[in-house]
Amino acid sequence: MDFQLTDSMKEIRQLVKTFATEVVAPRAKEIEEKDEFFPDIIQKAGELGILGMELPEEVGGINSGTLTAVMSNEEIAKVSAAVCNVIGAVRLHLALIHQFGTEEQKDKWLPTLSSGRKIGSFSITEPGAGSDAANIKTTAVKKGDNWILNGTKSFITLGPVADMTIVLTVTDKSKGVHGLTCFIVEKDMPGFSAGPKDYMMGQHGVPISQLFFDNCVVPEENMLGEEGQGFKIMMAGLDGTRLDIAALSLGLSRAAFEAAASYAANREQFGKPIGHFQGVGFMLAEMETEIDAGRLLLYRAAQLRDSGLPFTKQSSMAKYFCSDNAMRHTTNAVQIFGGYGYSKEYSVERFMRDAKICQIYDGTSQIHRMIVSRSIMKEYKEKAMIMN
């Protein structure tokens, strides 16, 4: 592992840091309080090349690689988890369409999504299928040159504002996960509608809703990938976006730590700064140590992906470690601030609310522990066979 940054990586990170500081930070409190979407910020990110940074140069990207992208996400999340979440979601759609789309689909969606002029969503979760994504009920039935979709998706990030959504459906129930297929559904297609916006505990400003498919007519050319390839597409997307959530969590941890450390160095009780008391000082020491450890886990997984090597296990390790830390770190920051931490006057209460969902979406912390443990069992089963 070599995390020495090239000049290009440093330039991109500085570009994103400037964007976060000058464009996002002045709006963070407003976004939180109004709980309204921010399309102008997303379009600005598109103009700067931030949305499509991982795409190859031939399709308008800068081929930044995953390591640079997660570094960038951390800088944005430090000032706004909501903006970071949306940017990560847009990158997910771009990655899937670039990897699995037809030339026509790429020509139609890559320029508009990467510029921020249009918004997409990824529809997996259903009322009865969250962690068990393979148990989805939304169906797609072939009828002539079209597919007819029926079902309901829930908790869909960007659902109410999306111009298109990638929908995971069942096309052949008898084949299990090999009978799942993805389709690109556009907002004006007959039978497709979005429910009202869901109001969430944290990450205000990110529009979330249910999506409904009532005999929704989707042309055959809107199938993403091949029939039966839906589970593969879903997992390819989640492996990557879990790194985004780890980076988002890391950014929240950094924001909470820096706020708490500054407060602890300047708030005096019993004649000295509260950071000099072990109860507070040890919390800060643990926070900074765990932030560094999480960053190393994340960078390792990102570098494996950039090298074309397997990274699913490492992605899960980074995701659950960083998200669990973010919840603990932001809670500790509120504790260090005391009564002020519970007040909206300071941002640490927002950090705590924003952190909780990181342990839930894109696979709960428990699911990621299962992924890691199963990987361990497979690895040591094979080692035992070799030894015998």
Structural domains in the chain, sorted by start? 7-119 (1.10.540.10), 121-231 (2.40.110.10), 235-387 (1.20.140.10)
Nearest 5°: CA angle at 97, between 94 and 102? 150
Contact 282, 289 (CB under 8 A): no
Q: What is the pLDDT of residue 206?
A: 96
d(CA 253, CA 379): 32
CB 156 within 8 A of CB 85: no
Verdict on whether the full-model pTM lies above 0.75: yes
- The pLDDT, as a whole number, for residue 301 is 95
Structure tokens at 290: 């765990």
What local confidence, expressed as pLDDT, does residue 388 receive? 57
**Do residues 159 and 123 touch, judged by C-beta distance below 8 A?**
yes
Spatial separation of the C-alpha atoms in residues 340 and 61, rounded to whole Å? 44
* Residues across the chain: 388
Structural contact between residues 137 and 189, judged by C-beta atoms closer than 8 angstroms: no
Q: What pLDDT is attached to residue 12?
A: 92
The position carrying tokens 């399709």 is 59
Residues 155 and 208: beta-carbon distance below 8 Å: yes
What pLDDT does residue 134 have? Answer: 74
Distances (CA, A) of 197 to 35, 130, 194, 237, 286: 11, 19, 9, 24, 38
**83, 46 contact by CB (below 8 A):** no
Q: What is the pLDDT of residue 74?
A: 95
Q: What share of the chain is helix, strand, coil (3-state, %, to 5)?
A: 60, 15, 25
Which residues pair with residue 224 across a beta bridge? 182
Question: What confidence score (pLDDT) does residue 204 get?
Answer: 96
Type of residue at 380: Y
Per-residue pLDDT of the chain (388 residues; tens, 9 = 90+): 667 788 888 999 999 999 999 999 999 999 999 999 999 999 999 999 999 999 988 887 888 999 999 999 999 999 999 999 999 999 999 999 999 999 999 999 999 999 999 999 999 999 988 777 778 999 999 999 999 999 999 999 999 999 999 999 999 999 988 999 999 999 999 999 999 999 999 999 999 999 999 999 999 999 999 999 999 999 888 888 899 999 999 999 999 999 999 999 999 999 999 999 999 999 999 999 999 999 999 999 999 999 999 999 999 999 999 999 999 999 999 999 999 999 999 999 999 999 999 999 888 999 999 999 999 998 888 776 665 5
**Quick one: pLDDT at residue 239?**
83
- Cβ-based neighbours of 105, under 8 Å, separated by 6 or more: 97, 184, 221, 222, 224
